[in-house]
Amino acid sequence: MNNGCICCTVRGDLIAGLKKLIKNSQKSGKVLDGVLIETTGLADPAPVAQTFFADDYVQQHMRLDGILTLVDAAHIIQHLDDEKPEGVENEAVEQIAFADRILLNKCDLVDGEEQLAEVEARIRAINKTVPIKRVTNSEVEMEFILGIRGFSLDKIIEMDDAFLEDSHDHQHDNRVSSVGIDVPGEVVQQKLNQWISWLLKEKGVDLFRSKGVLAVKGMKEKFVFQAIHMLFANSQEGEWGPDEERRCKMIFIGKNMDREELTSGFMACMAK
């Protein structure tokens, strides 16, 4: 990349860089196994992730494997508690919210298990289901970093009932949190499309990640939905088994989350 920077203003540079890598690998006849993109500590992960949704050529040749966030166990709480000027996002909160995996580093510099547990609790308050690995000097097995498949069907299906257990005390506030929906039954696709369009248009700025696996009336396959802010992608993957209960699972991670509004809006899409 020309200036080594990845942010909103140079997403075109990122697309051009990825295309060049793809074309060079095709010319050489060598298979490109993967690309690791490292942003700065102050970056918003959304524009990088959205690149894989927005450009057709990149989408045809690459898939977004997952978003890994490196967290400094010794200092993260003070960064999460930073008071930012109005209209300025807290980058530490955003990066945890977007993560498919958390690498909790510098655990040797933390004062015991109690403090580590407090750090993990703060992370879970933002991103309830993210896998966390405690490490020192960033030493980690490559299996935790590569082949995450955070945007694949089976990883979304792995969303178990744990994410539905989050606190009901704060129905609506400006902290980043997650809201889960898990209901038996099917959705009507036309109603779902209208609601999703409205949701992403009206609330997309506050919605960092949305994802789900849905049973759509009249559709044999599982309907997989992914969104990063206002950009979304969907696909039909794997048929529902003959003895499998058709149900809908969604999770929303963002700020100013209104559980009641999200739940009632989604339930209005359900087939009677």
Amino acid (1-letter code) at residue 90: N
CA distances from 146 to 10, 17, 43, 195, 226 (A): 25, 21, 21, 34, 20
What's the CA gap between 39 and 170, in Å, rounded?
Answer: 32
Closest CA to 213 of 190, 186, 194: 186
Q: Taking the complete model, does pTM exceed 0.85, yes or no?
A: no
pLDDT at position 156, please? 55
pLDDT at position 132, please? 94
pLDDT at position 2, please? 55
What's the CA gap between 244 and 16, in Å, rounded?
Answer: 44
Computed from CA positions of residues 64, 65, 67, 72, in that sequence, does the dihedral angle turn out positive or negative? negative
Query: How is residue 200 annotated by DSSP?
Result: H
List per-residue pLDDT tens for the chain, 272 residues long.
555 555 544 467 788 889 999 999 999 988 888 888 887 777 778 878 878 877 888 888 888 888 899 999 999 998 888 887 776 778 888 889 888 899 999 999 988 899 999 999 999 988 888 899 999 999 999 989 888 877 665 555 555 434 444 433 333 446 788 888 999 999 999 999 999 989 988 888 888 888 889 999 999 999 988 888 887 878 888 899 899 999 999 989 888 888 899 999 999 999 98
> 184 pairs with which residues across the strands?
247
pLDDT at position 47, please? 79
Structure tokens at 33: 């196994």
What's the CA gap between 135 and 137, in Å, rounded?
Answer: 7
For the chain, what is the largest distance between any 2 Cα atoms, rounded to a whole number of angstroms? 57
**Phi and psi at residue 33, in whole multiples of 5°?**
-70, -40
pLDDT at position 256, please? 86
Closest CA to 126 of 178, 53, 162, 192: 178
What's the CA gap between 148 and 158, in Å, rounded?
Answer: 13
